[in-house]
Amino acid sequence: MLGAALALSMTGCGHSGFPTADRVEETLTFDGNVGPGGSSCAAEIGSIGASVRVDVVPTSLFLELRRGTCTAPGTLAAASPGGRLTQNVRAGDYNVNIVNASDVPVNYSLTVRYTRLSN
């Protein structure tokens, strides 16, 4: 009996009758400079709720993933002492902040990978 119920429940699986949005894997790259002892909001993303991966070179820079935008940053979602940050996030707006703890300016290269809804 249970097998029949499972078979019935699986027919039409994936066909809810509602339109589904397409997901797009996005990769963004940025080059910039952050001053000594300073920070810089380097990227804004709108994720649909999936894994976000951020890589920065040089790896001496500290990474922060915050909810909100660069102009209206929110709570800290994740942080990494440098190099790479990977975090599963809920849907919403996020920004990537780079922090330079050294006493000299640092040029950086940043790559952000995340999933968003297609337009």
Name, in order, each residue with C-beta under 8 angstroms of 20's C-beta and a sequence gap of 6 or more: none
- pLDDT confidence tier of residue 5, bands split at 50, 70 and 90: very low
The alpha carbon torsion through 29, 68, 66, 110 (nearest 10 deg) reads 10
The token pair that represents 16 in the structure block: 């809810």
So what's the pLDDT on residue 119? Answer: 61
Q: What is the mean pLDDT of the chain?
A: 83
| pLDDT, average across residues 102-117 | 91
Per-residue pLDDT tens digits for 38-94? 999 999 988 777 889 999 999 999 999 999 999 998 999 999 998 899 999 888 899
- pLDDT confidence tier of residue 23, bands split at 50, 70 and 90: confident
| pLDDT, average across residues 17-30 | 74
Dist. CA 103–CA 32, nearest whole Å? 17
The answer to whether 97 and 41 have CB atoms below 8 angstroms apart is yes
Name, in order, each residue with C-beta under 8 angstroms of 18's C-beta and a sequence gap of 6 or more: none
In this prediction the pTM is: 0.76
